[in-house]
Structure 1
């Protein structure tokens, strides 16, 4: 990708497209949000996260309670590769279990909290890329201010529940449909 504010930053092409949409007045807030969600979920290694989440879900739904639910959960996490999401999920799930929350509810709450943390971390990382792009001269000062403002608007509009559903189902294409623009002859502005 040769243009856009993130052209000299080590990011995937999906995030570079997001960077272009941040500074483009032609992109809507909904398009930026769809691109951000799509980029986030595509960054997840579902081949490692989904089996972990599946095992945690199956364990949480078991009718028999563990004497030490934290140890059982730690054992499950130890059997799977670590990532930002799995580390966050582990931290929040173990904290919930220590608060005596039922395993199923603890897992649901931990996934929601993990999604919120993930959204915030990703927003901050993209703010840093905007700063770097401005410092490199890849982003004009007015685009920098617009980019930061739009980045915050975009990540504030992301619904954590939708990310949770995509993670729980293992659906890497959960936000792909939202990226396709209406292009049919009969489809125009809504009245």
Structure 2
């Protein structure tokens, strides 16, 4: 991918597509939301997250009383591959357990909080990418203003519950966008 405002950024092709969508007047907000969510899920090692979440979910579903559920939950996190997403989940989960929530409630609340944190962190990262693209000349001043405004609108429109469900179900393709033709292509040019 050689065009778009993020062409020189060290981002995946999904995020570069999202950058193109930010400045394109032909892309709807709903399409940008889908692309953002699809890109977020694409950043996750879904198999590793699924293993971690499954073990936490199984532990939370047990009826037996755990005398030190904070320590045993921390052990689960420590035995799994660490990622920025799992670290946020761990912090939220352990905080909830220290607040004496049941393991089920702690996990459910932690996943909800984690998704909200993840949305905010990703939005901020994309704002920074827009700033960098403007500073290096890959984005004009008008595209920068449009991109920043649309990035804020996009992330404000993400349905956190739907994203949380996709993550809990390890559904990496929950937001897979419909394939789009190049807007310069006429219907007769399509393959």
Q: Same fold (TM over 0.5)?
A: yes
Measured after TM superposition, the shift of residue 180 of structure 1 is 1.2
Q: In the alignment, does 2:61 pair up with 1:57?
A: no
How far apart in 2 are the matches of 1:7 and 1:181? Answer: 20
Q: In the alignment, does 2:184 pair up with 1:180?
A: no
Aligned to 1:23: 23
Measured after TM superposition, the shift of residue 182 of structure 1 is 9.4
How far apart in 2 are the matches of 1:182 and 1:124? Answer: 27
Structure 2: give runs of 5+ residues left out of the alignment.
182-191
How far apart in 2 are the matches of 1:78 and 1:18? Answer: 34
Measured after TM superposition, the shift of residue 58 of structure 1 is 0.2
Q: In the alignment, does 2:88 pair up with 1:91?
A: no
Residues 143 and 182 of structure 1: is their aligned pair in 2 closer, same or farther, counting only changes over 3 Å? closer
Cα deviation code 1:85-114 (max 9, x no counterpart): 110000000000111111101100000000
Q: Write the mapping of 1:1-191 to structure 2, written as runs, cut at 5 A.
A: 1-176=1-176, 179-180=177-178
How far apart in 1 are the matches of 2:143 and 2:174? Answer: 30
Q: TM-score, normalised by structure 2?
A: 0.93
Q: CA RMSD in A?
A: 1.2
The SS at the match of 1:35 is helix
How far apart in 2 are the matches of 1:13 and 1:182? Answer: 15
How far apart in 1 are the matches of 2:141 and 2:180? Answer: 33
Structure 1 residue ranges (4+ consecutive) displaced by more than 4 angstroms after TM superposition:
none
Measured after TM superposition, the shift of residue 163 of structure 1 is 1.3
Number of residue pairs aligned between Structure 1 and Structure 2? 181
Measured after TM superposition, the shift of residue 160 of structure 1 is 1.1
Mean Cα deviation higher: 104-113 or 158-167: 158-167
